[in-house]
Structure 1
Amino acid sequence: MTNYDIQSSREWWAQRWVDVLESFGWRRRLERARNYARQGNVLQIEFDGAKVSALVQGTAPEPYNVSLSLDLFDDEQWQYVIESMSQRAIFSAKLLAGEMPQNIEEVFTANGLSLFPLTKFDIHSKCSCPDPANPCKHIGAVYYLLGDRFSEDPFVLFQLRGRAKEQILSALRQTRSGQSDAEQPEEPAALSSPEAPIDLHTFWQYDEQLEPSLVVIAPPPSSETVLNVLGPIPIKADPAVNQATGSAQMIVADYLKTVYEQVSQQSVLAAMTTGDRSGMQI
């Protein structure tokens, strides 16, 4: 039951939040809550650290006050999570780009945690309305609007667990920087010496496994080739045969242009075919 659709294209982590809430058996209560969310009854949502405060208009003249929070992770738990994130470059790359890595939950479960509420008891909410049920329709409406906030900024979900965006990114940079320093050899003599020999046969060889999610293969943005960048072919002109020289330049340029275009197209096709077979994201 995920037909709530204030946003036509909700990100996967926001949809996951909605799916988790709807799995707690609150179907009848959440039906009215979705209508409240659609109709704009949530007048205001504010974040005070890890706590959410909202004003929701009900049937009474004055809007109701809603508060919501999740169980927080302590400093030690967050340290384990950050260390696990830093070990995979794709997590840092995705988060810096404002996206939630598809398998981010694995980082938390590996450390005995759950990013999303594991049970309904992980969510602590209150409403000033007289309805004794929890969640009431006012709290439920805030649940759905939070999903939209998660789509806009995935770090809001981390914030509800006790860490703000800048704290996470700063910790990731610091941890990854420390790892990079530790991986550096103490005396890189071969690289420090300008006289170090270079083996041209192995210069472009790289035997380590690449992170497939970071590999993006796409056609060139324009039809220009290297010939357009280099300009006219510098064939020496001879005044006595100036016309013939001009014709030769055109013939060679046209021929090379055709060759470069064919090579470019075949390279992209070959790369995409190879990427599909190896599981890369194209």
Structure 2
Amino acid sequence: MTNANLLNNDSGLPQQEWWVIRWLELLDSYRFKKRLERARNYAREGHVLSIEFSGSEVLAKVQGTEPEPYQVSLSLDPFTDEDWGFIIQSLSEKAIFSAQLLSGKMPDEIERVFTDNGLSVFPFRLSDVHSRCSCPDKANPCKHIGAIYYQLAERFSEDPFIIFQLRGRSKNKILEGLRNLRKQQINQNEKMSQQIEETVNKTEVVEEKSTQKNQPLDIKQFWQYSESLDPSLVVIVPPTDNKTVLDVLGRIPLAYEEAKIVKDYLQQVYQTVSQQAMITALKRDE
């Protein structure tokens, strides 16, 4: 029977959480099962007087057979600040992870966050856990250290962030890192929204100018040109094909006699207008 099953059956400690079982499975490799039985009883019967964290190291007092409690320490190899930077970045990309951790639940896929960064949140072997006890027992883990394993399992059940503290980063530091990344993301989104708004405004201005250009021409401004021209570069001559506007427009939809009268009149008008336009255009001194 595995230690996880022993824990589930009669230890009185939390039973269901997969991350607690992962932690306790480390003890399965320990061959002194009776020693583990005593360690489990110590944890259950209140022999663990205190558990405190000093950075990433666990410091505990366990009451044994002597009047003075034994001093126990336990730690894992902490991750570097750079490692934690990648981990927190990965956690921030999935908000559900933070929400589940804050609710006291270890996300099912949390290990993927660490393995993708070449790390493992849980130790692989019992030897990966560094532990010491002031008792005379030379075995490691002794029953006092084993009692701390079981007590930590209970703590993990209540707060999964504790396993992260063993790896060198406290709950407050992790949450602070997540909040800072969230602020950066919000600032980036606001900056992007501002850039999009500026682009839209510029587009609207261009479209407005384009719309203005496509508006019907004012007949009073038809012959006006707002830009300056070098007179020496401008050559104004009558049409070489002698065609008038009437020729371009084609036949006037009137009876023959009426159309002839209108056409003759308009030809005189266009001829006069053309002559006047040439005179105006050739006034170089204005």
TM-score normalised per structure 2: 0.62
Give the structure-1-normalised TM-score: 0.63
Structure 1, unmatched stretches of 5+, are 197-282
- Deviation of 1:9 after TM superposition, in Å, equals 4.1
Partner of 1:73, secondary structure, is: coil
SS at match of 2:195: coil
Larger Rg: 2
Match of 2:130 among 105, 124, 133: 124
User: Judging changes above 3 Å, is the alpha-carbon distance between structure 1 residues 80 and 21 closer, same or farther for their aligned structure 2 residues?
Assistant: farther
Percent identical across equivalent pairs? 56
- Could you say which residue in structure 2 is the equivalent of 1:18? 24
Matching of residue 58 in structure 1 with residue 67 in structure 2: no
What is the correspondence of 1:188-203 to structure 2 with a 5 Å cutoff? 188-189=196-197
Residues 151-180 of structure 1 show CA distances to partners (whole Å, capped at 9, x for unaligned) of: 111111111111111110110121133234
Which residue of the other structure, out of 77, 81, 84, is the alignment partner of 1:78? 84
- Give the drift of 1:47: 1.4
Answer 1 or 2: which has greater helix percent. Answer: 2
Residue of structure 1 aligned with 2:177, choices 167, 171, 185: 171
Q: Which residue matches 1:187?
A: 195
Larger mean CA deviation between 3-12 and 138-147 belongs to 3-12
The one of 41, 52, 58 aligned to 1:46: 52
Instruction: Give the corresponding residue for 2:108.
Output: 102
Amino acid at match of 2:180: Q
CA distance in 1, matches of 2:195, 2:56: 46
Q: Distance in 2 between matches of 1:98 and 1:186?
A: 38
Q: Distance in 2 between matches of 1:10 and 1:64?
A: 31
List aligned pairs for 1:108-257, cutoff 5 A. Answer: 108-183=114-189, 184-189=192-197
Secondary structure, aligned partner of 1:187: helix
Distance in 2 of aligned mates of 1:165 and 1:148:
17
Q: For residues 186 and 164 of structure 1, what CA distance do their matches in structure 2 show?
A: 36
Letter of the structure 2 residue corresponding to residue 152 of structure 1: E
1:27 corresponds to = 33
CA contact (8 A) 1:37 1:141 kept: yes
What are the superposed Cα offsets for residues 4-42 of structure 1, whole Å, 9 maximum, x if unpaired?
Answer: 232244533222211233345553432221121122211
Instruction: Work out the number of aligned pairs and report it.
Output: 194
Question: What residue identity is the alignment partner of 1:130?
Answer: P
Cα pair 2:29 2:126 within 8 Å, conserved: no
Residues 163-221 of structure 1: CA deviation (Å, up to 9, x unaligned): 1111101101211332343344443439x99xx9xxxxxxxxxxxxxxxxxxxxxxxxx
Per the TM alignment, residue 96 of structure 1 is displaced from its structure 2 partner at its CA by: 3.0
Query: Any idea what SS the aligned residue of 1:85 has?
Result: helix
- Distance between the aligned counterparts of 1:148 and 1:95, measured in 2? 16
Deviations 1:76-111 (A, max 9, x none): 111111111111121122223332212111111111
For 2:16 and 2:154, the matched residues in 1 are separated by 7
For the aligned residue pairs, the C-alpha RMSD in angstroms reads: 2.4
* SS state at 1:146 partner: helix
| Residues 26, 126 of structure 2: 8 Å contact kept | no
Aligned CA distance change for structure 1 residues 55 and 99 (closer, same or farther; 3 Å) = same
Letter of the structure 2 residue corresponding to residue 181 of structure 1 = N
Unaligned runs of 5+ in 2: 205-286
